[in-house]
Amino acid sequence: MRIALAASSYLPRLGGVEEHVFHLSRRLRARGNDVVVWSVDQGDDVPADDDGHRLRYLPTPMPSRSVGGLVRWMRELPGARSAWRSALADDAPDVVVIQCFGPNGRWAHATAKHAGIPLVYANHGETFMDAHDAFASSRLLRRSLAAAMRDAAAVTSCSAYAAADLDRFGEHRPAAIVANGIDLGAEAQELPAPVPPRYIAGVGRLVENKGFDVLIDAFAEARSTLDGIDLVIAGDGPERGRLEMRAIEREIATRVHFTGALTRTQVRTVLDGALAQVVPSRVEAFGIVILEGWRSGIPVLATRRGGPAEFMTDGVDGLLFDPGDATELAELLTRVAVDAELRGALVSHGRHSVLRYTWDHVAAAYEDVLRPVVAAVAAESRS
């Protein structure tokens, strides 16, 4: 199959969608498919190709309510339309797959529809996980998503929880659940600064939804039973200052360590050395960091709100908790810290569970969705 992955963001930017498309494109190619990545031109210093394969950064102007914004959009519109249609003509995909809906989705939908090429929408939970709450603030984005889903030949979602949220945008085909994946062989990289000898880790962007304030409160409640154990929070974001102040207010600042932004390989180093990992998100579409914890062979404690409860079995390969209840989390931190037998069981089952989420499994799941779509078009053209 010739597949165009129309991504909301890609290299050199780092994040969940970027990593998903990076690994997915490589595994699909390794399985015999011709894959091109179309991403949004955000003015970055971008790579010339994708590991020797075609890579396009396309303009995605969107109209705005201001007069100046409308004038700018009208000025940019002809060039953007030409760029997308040139990409379509040069790459000749059998199917276009929107990876995370943003301006890329609106443009990919319009381009595929104009050419009569089937469209597939791959949802990553962006409708409720976006840090800027774009779908709440942009009526145009909501309408664009609704239109794309009506026309899509197939829809996938990273979890049933994320798929259910799509219903509020209108009718769509039933979503096939295609989970995220992980590179089991990823190497660890040296950290920019040392971490404590024994610690519990939290990893993610420091934004309100990730719930690191709850983790700090829980750690403070359990401090007396966590003797000799610190808390390491790996990541950066707009909430860092507030979280540092919270640690001071809870009188645990000397035991809470903020690493700042890390690469994925440095995140592996943090998790490899942790006693346990906590994913305290107020809601999580999937939770790639859970897979990272399983890969590192450490116990994982995760939010029960959202996708994690769909693939983690409470008390078997992890411990689930209510992210609104710091006291419950504090009790779980104590259990994991003092119960070596529990830690061993969680680690053993976690190592087994992560094997279901290799990128080859993910690529095969996408192929199961895409092949019937492409075959239907081919059959229609022959009739």
pLDDT tens sequence across 195-234? 999 999 999 999 999 999 999 999 999 999 999 999 999 9
Q: Quick one: pLDDT at residue 271? A: 97
Of the given ranges (54-68, 176-190, 240-254), which has the lowest mean pLDDT?
54-68
Asked if the peptide bond before residue 93 counts as cis, ω within 30 degrees of 0, the response is no
204 plus 327 within the same structural domain: yes
137 plus 222 within the same structural domain: no
Average pLDDT for 129-155 = 92
Quickly count: other Cβ atoms within 10 Å of residue 200's Cβ: 25
Q: CB–CB of 95/3 below 8 Å? A: yes
Of the given ranges (127-131, 152-156, 193-197), which has the lowest mean pLDDT?
127-131
Number of domains in the chain: 2
Strands ordered across the beta sheet of 95-99: 55-58, 34-40, 2-7, 95-99, 119-123, 154-157, 175-177
pTM, 2 dp: 0.93
206 plus 241 within the same structural domain: yes
Structural domain for 289, as ranges: 199-357
Q: Quick one: pLDDT at residue 51? A: 85
228 plus 123 within the same structural domain: no
Q: Quick one: pLDDT at residue 376? A: 86
67 plus 175 within the same structural domain: yes
Q: Quick one: pLDDT at residue 380? A: 73
pLDDT at 79 over 90: no
Q: Quick one: pLDDT at residue 8? A: 94
Q: Quick one: pLDDT at residue 48? A: 84
Residue 271 placed within a domain: yes
350 plus 369 within the same structural domain: no
127 plus 54 within the same structural domain: yes
CATH number of the domain enclosing 339: 3.40.50.2000
pLDDT tens track for 240-252 = 999 999 999 999 9
372 plus 270 within the same structural domain: no
Residue 8 placed within a domain: yes
- For residue 222, report the phi and psi dihedrals to the nearest 5 degrees: -95, 5
Angle, vertex CA 281, rays to CA 275 and CA 287, nearest 5: 75
Of the given ranges (73-77, 221-225, 283-287, 329-333), which has the lowest mean pLDDT?
73-77
Q: Which residues contact residue 196 at a Cβ distance below 8 angstroms, ignoring those fewer than 6 apart?
A: 230, 232, 257
Residue 83 placed within a domain: yes
Q: Quick one: pLDDT at residue 76? A: 78
Residue 188 placed within a domain: no
Q: Quick one: pLDDT at residue 222? A: 97
Residue 34 placed within a domain: yes
Residue 242 placed within a domain: yes
Q: Which percentage of the chain shows pLDDT scores above 70?
A: 98
254 plus 325 within the same structural domain: yes
Which secondary structure element, helix H or strand E, spans residue 216, and what is its range?
A: helix 212-221
Q: CB–CB of 131/44 below 8 Å? A: no
143 plus 251 within the same structural domain: no
pLDDT band at 383 (very low <50, low <70, confident <90, very high): low
Residue 186 placed within a domain: no
At how many degrees (to 10) do helices 103-115 and 67-91 cross? 50
* Nearest residue to 50 via CA among 83, 28, 79: 28
pLDDT tens track for 312-356 = 999 999 999 999 999 999 999 999 999 999 999 999 999 999 999
Residue 189 placed within a domain: no
351 plus 363 within the same structural domain: no
Residue 378: helix, strand or coil by DSSP?
Answer: helix
207 plus 330 within the same structural domain: yes
Of the given ranges (74-83, 235-244, 267-276, 325-334), which has the lowest mean pLDDT?
74-83
Q: CB–CB of 96/111 below 8 Å? A: yes
Question: Where do we find the tokens 């319009």?
Answer: 110
